[in-house]
């Protein structure tokens, strides 16, 4: 009889805890091991584990702090020839690691095991043991960032160590040492497995220098590099990289550009003349768009999406489960859209506007912003951003209002949007205003990016029983103020 009374008391205590789970973690009493019989939920692969707190009871601070830490490292010039793969690769693998380090505490969600290409078997949590999910995520992201940025400056290496310890010290006030150690060990083990998998994705392949074929009479449309040697073309070997989502390229083929022609009556000439004409009458806001989204100086190669994700999570005041879900979805879409886009670029090898316009229309003309050193079609900004914005819309809703402060540190005015769709279109159009892409390319590329995003959502199952709670969970958090 005494035993039943003790169990009943523990159950009441557990229910009382959940009623106040919205409070900040730092205000809660330290969780002891003897509480670990409270609350049973479905863990990885449907097994039953005891967890005293669910992932959703933690704040997203651990995610946003590591995203912001990563931004500090992405400001550093990328290694020669690496181009955009550095940022998208970090976004993908860190997002997967963050999600997998906390998903056992998310009873309505499932692991990515068995869903991603060649994805390894991940460690399991211990049955009947308590975990501190924010501590697991902290350990996982610390490990991933150290491994993904081996050439980080000494200052940034110190900053990573300091951030990990700062969060560790906070979590040490919330649970006893054995729970904290177990949680951190789990997160680190998850990251170790994921990084080993990442190392086999083809990014480490040794390839000869890429030397583009020059235009000829038979192929006058061939791309001419826009940066002189020793600058190298960006991402010419993207086709060798492993796509993370099986079938993600389904129906992402592009309608080819118009047939190359210098005839003023041709569709190709009209496409280039449109860029030229717009450049002559740019408004102040169009110039501001082009400058804001040029990303160099700033966060080249997709680093701006790290900033967008961090600011979105903060604006939404997301709990840890939704932040981890968004991180994984954005990372998968950004990675695979980048690989698909750059593979297409080197298949089409289409000439940039600056080369065509100088040769055919006006030899004194120049672009408003510098032209990146890779082929024109499709547009990286348009394809990749639309895949990312498809994911952010999926998680946070169609009418999410946000003001970006990504480049406050450069003195650029913040830019505001009523939806991710609006942000997506502006990012794409900014490349036309900058003079570096044709409008038709950006429009077609946005279609491609959306298809990539939808393919990720169709082929990867995050939620159990198709609950789609990720939409509704955050709606009450969206105040929709800029």
Residue-wise pLDDT for 133-158, tens only, equals 999 999 999 999 999 999 888 999 99
pLDDT exceeds cutoff 70 at 243: yes
Q: What span, in angstroms and rounded, lies between the C-alpha atoms of 181 and 161?
A: 17
User: Given this model, what pLDDT does residue 86 score?
Assistant: 77
Domain ranges of the chain: 30-198, 238-475
Is residue 482 pLDDT above 90, yes or no?
A: no
Under 8 Å between Cβ of 398 and 426: no
Q: Choose the weakest-confidence range: 19-23, 323-327, 410-414.
A: 19-23
Q: Which residue has the tokens 């095991």?
A: 113
* Average pLDDT over every residue of 41-64: 68
The pLDDT of 412-433, averaged and rounded, is 98
> Whose CA is closest to 145, among 183, 97, 76, 84?
97
Model pLDDT, residue 32: 56
Give the residue with greater pLDDT, 82 vs 256: 256
For the record, the structure tokens of 292 come out as 């804001």
Which tens digits make up the pLDDT trace of 247-261? 999 999 999 999 999
**Rg from Cα positions in the chain:** 24
Arithmetic mean of pLDDT, 59-64: 98
Q: Which fold has domain 238-475?
A: Vanadium-containing Chloroperoxidase; domain 2 (1.10.606)
- What is the C-alpha to C-alpha distance for residues 480 and 482, in angstroms, rounded to an integer? 6
- Report the alpha-carbon distance of residue 135 to residue 179 in Å, rounded: 10
pLDDT for 24 beyond 60:
no
Q: To the nearest whole percent, how much of the chain has pLDDT over 70?
A: 83
DSSP state for residue 41 in the 8-state scheme: E
Which tokens in the block code for residue 313? 């999570």
Q: How confident is the model at residue 44 (pLDDT cuts 50, 70, 90)?
A: very low
| Among the ranges given (111-115, 297-301, 318-322), the one the predictor scored with the smallest mean pLDDT | 297-301
Task: Tell me whether the CATH fold assigned to 30-198 matches the one assigned to 238-475.
Answer: yes
Q: Which residue did the predictor score with more confidence, 192 or 1?
A: 192
pTM, rounded to two decimals? 0.87
Q: Taking residues 228-232, what's their average pLDDT?
A: 90
Angle between helices 420-433 and 439-459 (to 10 degrees): 150
What are the CA-CA distances from residue 378 to residues 33, 194, 238, 242 (Å)? 55, 30, 14, 20
- C-beta atoms surrounding 128 within 10 Å: 12
Mean pLDDT of 281-291: 98
Strand partners, 417: 402
Q: Please provide the DSSP assignment of 446-481 as one string.
A: HHHHHHHHHHHHHH---BGGG--HHHHHHHTT----
What's the start-to-end Cα distance of the chain, in Å?
A: 58
> Bridge partners of 319?
59
Q: Point out which residues pair with 175 in neighbouring strands.
A: 31
Strand ranges for 355-434 from DSSP E: 402-404, 415-417
Cβ within 8 Å of residue 464, ≥6 positions away: 42, 107, 108, 109, 110
Q: Does domain 30-198 match CATH 2.60.40.730?
A: no
**What's the Cα-to-Cα distance from 228 to each of 115, 292, 371, 380, rounded to whole Å?**
43, 25, 12, 21
- pLDDT bracket for residue 76 (50, 70, 90): low
Secondary structure class of 376 (helix, strand, coil)? coil
Residue 370 pLDDT: 95
229: confidence class by pLDDT, cuts 50, 70, 90: confident
* pLDDT score, position 31: 56
């Amino acid at each position: 009889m005494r035993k039943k009374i003790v169990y009943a008391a523990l159950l009441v205590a557990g229910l009382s805890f959940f009623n106040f789970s919205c409070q900040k973690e730092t205000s809660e009493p330290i969780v002891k091991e003897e509480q670990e019989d409270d609350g049973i939920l479905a863990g990885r692969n449907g097994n039953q584990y005891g967890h005293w707190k669910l992932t959703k009871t933690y704040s997203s601070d651990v995610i946003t702090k590591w995203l912001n830490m990563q931004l500090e490292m992405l400001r550093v010039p990328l290694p020669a020839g690496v181009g955009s793969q550095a940022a998208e690769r970090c976004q993908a693998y860190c997002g997967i690691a963050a999600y997998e380090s906390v998903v056992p505490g998310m009873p309505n969600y499932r692991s990515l095991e068995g869903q991603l290409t060649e994805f390894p078997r991940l460690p399991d949590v211990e049955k009947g043991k308590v975990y501190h999910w924010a501590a697991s995520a902290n350990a996982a992201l610390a490990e991933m960032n150290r491994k993904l940025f081996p050439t980080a400056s000494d200052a940034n290496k110190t900053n990573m160590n300091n951030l990990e310890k700062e969060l560790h010290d906070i979590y040490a006030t919330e649970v006893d040492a054995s729970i904290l150690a177990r949680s951190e060990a789990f997160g680190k083990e998850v990251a170790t497995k994921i990084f080993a998998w990442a190392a086999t994705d083809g990014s480490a392949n040794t390839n000869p220098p890429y030397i583009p074929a020059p235009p000829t009479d038979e192929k006058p449309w061939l791309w001419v590099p826009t940066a002189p040697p020793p600058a190298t073309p960006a991402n010419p070997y993207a086709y060798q990289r492993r796509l993370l989502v099986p079938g993600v390229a389904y129906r992402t083929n592009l309608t080819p550009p118009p047939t190359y022609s210098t005839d003023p009556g041709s569709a190709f000439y009209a496409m280039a003349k449109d860029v030229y004409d717009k450049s002559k009458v740019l408004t102040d806001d169009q110039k501001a768009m082009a400058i804001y989204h040029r990303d160099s100086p700033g966060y080249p190669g997709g680093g701006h999406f790290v900033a967008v994700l961090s600011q979105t999570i903060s604006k939404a005041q997301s709990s840890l489960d939704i932040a981890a879900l968004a991180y994984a979805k954005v990372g998968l879409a950004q990675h695979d859209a980048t690989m698909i886009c750059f593979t297409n670029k080197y298949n089409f090898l289409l000439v940039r506007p600056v080369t065509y316009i100088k040769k055919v229309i006006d030899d004194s003309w120049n672009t408003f912003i510098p032209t990146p050193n890779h082929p024109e079609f499709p547009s990286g900004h348009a394809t990749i951003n639309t895949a990312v914005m498809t994911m952010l819309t999926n998680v946070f809703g169609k009418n999410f209002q946000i003001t970006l402060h990504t480049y406050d540190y450069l003195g650029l005015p913040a830019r505001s949007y009523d939806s991710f769709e609006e942000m997506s279109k502006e990012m794409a159009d900014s490349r036309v205003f900058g003079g570096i892409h044709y409008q038709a390319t950006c429009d077609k590329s946005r279609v491609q990016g959306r298809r990539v995003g939808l393919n990720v959502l169709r082929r990867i199952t995050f939620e159990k029983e198709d609950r789609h709670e990720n939409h509704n969970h955050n709606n009450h958090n969206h105040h929709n103020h800029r």
